[in-house]
Structure 1
Amino acid sequence: MNFYNKHLLNDFNFKKYEILSLLENVNKLNCLSFFNKKICILNEKQSLRTINSLINVFNLLNLKFTVINNKHNIKKENIKDFSRTLGLLYDYIFIRSNNDNIIKIISKFSGSIVINLLSNGFHPIQSISDLNMLNKKKIIYLFGDFNSNVFRSIIINLSKLNVNIIIFSPKMYWNFIFLKKIFNKKKIIITEKIIISKKKCLIYNDVWFSMGETSNFINKIKLLINFQINKKILKILKIRKIFHCLPCFKNIKIKKINFESELKENIFESNFTFFEKQINKKISIIKSYIILGEKIFFKIF
């Protein structure tokens, strides 16, 4: 199995068997020699964990790469011309962008292989790395605004693996067009009220405010406060673990007013969370993805 000439623009790009191939190869490392492929990290959005996980893998595999942090190119230049220029300079482009359309244009006009590290619409690397620990679990709760990029990605991928999903979200965020596209012939539960189950479950949570989001913070917090993960939720549900797409903004202050965030401080520091393991799995998934794309990067002895 390899991903030769295969973009990863969003979670729709992967079929079920391809996801399973990634998960199976997480802990495998072939004996490889490296070609001189030109690799670029195009970073339009701030990042700590995803970009550094990628750099960690490049260093591990002894791959050379260039990091472009200049937003001027995307904001001021003709995006098609910029894409063609990237294509002349690089074979592989890893990108974090504020706009999914920009990623699509770059993939179309650059001629390079494009990997979406994060966009407003999707976060495939995060969702696939978490799938390694979510796969084969019976019940998974998604808490909060399920229109977030991480939720959108994890819903798409969980639906491919036939996992039972319960979305606990304010009704105004319910996106029926999206749900119909994903669950055309499958059932999904979406509710504004907690469904109590005797079985143990996992909770998947995302930040209420994505980087670069310009919505009305105060109104959004008022809407989402009843969907916060706190001691009350721990008493109602039998929780195994809590997944969270870091960073968690634990202290939100707007106009001198302190607001609650999606995850209570005492929960964030509890044994229910295991963010270190999530980061390590992200590194493993990126490594697995690159190795399975061996026709691009590597020659097997």
Structure 2
Amino acid sequence: MTRHFLRDDALSPAEQAQVLDLAAAYKTDRYGYSPLAHRAVAVIFEKQSLRTRSSFEVGIAQLGGQPLIIDARGTHFGRGETVADAARVLSRYVDAIVIRTFGDDRLAELAAASSVPVVNALTDGFHPCQLLADLQTIRERRGTLAGTTVTYLGDGANNMAHSFLLAGATAGMHVRIAGPDGYRPDPAVLAEATRIAAGTGGSTAVLGDPKQAVDGADVLVTDTWTSMGQEDDGKDRITPFLPYQVNAELLAASADGAFALHCLPAHRGEEITDEVLDDPAGAIFDEAENRLHAQKALLAWLLDDAVQSGASAPTGTAPGTTAPAGTAPGAGAPTSSAPGGAAPASEASVNPVRGA
């Protein structure tokens, strides 16, 4: 069956751990594996990109594959030709399709018509490739994911908040979302994350008070307050979010050794201060680098049956990393946990998309 990666919950806890183990191995040896030899991957952009384009193009080449970069503005993709028809054609040419687009319905239409794996490189609803990089970064710093408390501050309705809920819950983490009224996560996404967390030892919480949200947190995460496409919506996207700025004061109120993450690009002085962003001991630029390694691991896992089964998976981890506690490389869900925020009541659940 064709496996797609449309949302963070497309991977089980064991599968997520296996991809992260691969990412650590690829970071240790960038050029030692060629699972994409003689394969081509289309990378389609309907939204502008720097990190996504660079990391996918370089990563596919490092794995021995041929990246086919497509700027949708210069093609008939979705204009005059349906997304489904384009997917059927591309499936005859390439071995996988990566797309950075707007609506999740557009992504779902592409995946439904594709006979090759489709990867979500960012939509309005989710940013799952970024979360693999973030989880890799946290694991490098802390040695484990299970039991880690992560607080996302800012627009709780954006794609990074949604992805942190799903990916963090899958990893057995305690995920807190803190933001002003009117900027809270989609209830269906929150409910699904809460359901997943119940099985992994994690938890979810939505809070309004930023100081309460960061108390005891190991990682603070933020993103731009104005996402692409929101620039002209007429809303004040500064004033309501100012209490949620990631700064030295909030970091000091967090757990000892806490650090910040930001997927970039950053609006310096808005959602994050220069002091935090430029901290030489910070993790944000390690996080940016890990897009390369995590996405290589994901593509190898999706396209190489031997890698997915563990038969030819690279072994070893990057310096300073270990597999999640209680989890053998490539197997088993995280089992340990630490106290975290209380989980809110569940609402309607969302089923992960696992194939065409």
Normalising by structure 1, report the TM-score: 0.85
Judge conservation of contact 1:34–1:297 (CA < 8 Å) in 2: no
Q: After superposition, where does 1:1-301 map in structure 2 within 5 Å?
A: 5-28=2-25, 32=34, 35-71=37-73, 72-134=76-138, 135-136=145-146, 138-175=148-185, 176-184=187-195, 186=198, 187-193=203-209, 194-195=211-212, 199=216, 201-214=218-231, 216=233, 218-238=235-255, 240-250=258-268, 261-271=270-280, 273-292=282-301, 293-295=303-305
The superposition leaves residues 162-194 of structure 1 with CA deviations (integer Å, 9 ceiling, x where unpaired) of: 212222111322233332222147443321112
Question: How well do the aligned residues superpose, as a CA RMSD in angstroms?
Answer: 2.8
Name the % identity: 20
Structure 1: 4+ residue segments shifted above 6 A = 296-300
Q: Aligned partners of 1:158, 1:123: CA distance in 2, in Å?
A: 13
Q: Aligned partners of 1:205, 1:230: CA distance in 2, in Å?
A: 11
Judge conservation of contact 2:245–2:270 (CA < 8 Å) in 1: yes
Partner SS for 2:220? strand
> 2:103 corresponds to which letter in structure 1?
N
Judge conservation of contact 1:88–1:110 (CA < 8 Å) in 2: no
Normalising by structure 2, report the TM-score: 0.73
Deviates more, 1:209-218 or 1:57-66: 209-218
The superposition leaves residues 226-282 of structure 1 with CA deviations (integer Å, 9 ceiling, x where unpaired) of: 2112243234334521000100022xxxxxxxxx51112222222463222112222
Query: What is the number of equivalent residue pairs in this alignment?
Result: 289
**Per-residue deviation, 1:105:** 1.1
Per the alignment, residue 256 of structure 1 pairs with none
> 1:130 corresponds to which letter in structure 2?
D
> 2:207 corresponds to which letter in structure 1?
T
Q: Aligned partners of 1:230, 1:33: CA distance in 2, in Å?
A: 42
Which has more strand, going by share of residues? 1
**Per-residue deviation, 1:199:** 4.2
Q: Aligned partners of 2:194, 2:85: CA distance in 1, in Å?
A: 38
- Alpha-carbon spacing, 1:196–1:67, altered in 2? closer, same or farther (3 Å): closer
Partner SS for 1:266? helix
> 1:14 corresponds to which letter in structure 2?
L
Q: 1 or 2 for the larger relative contact order (CA 8 Å, sep ≥6)?
A: 2
Partner SS for 1:39? strand
- Alpha-carbon spacing, 1:288–1:179, altered in 2? closer, same or farther (3 Å): same
Partner SS for 1:174? coil
> 2:51 corresponds to which letter in structure 1?
R
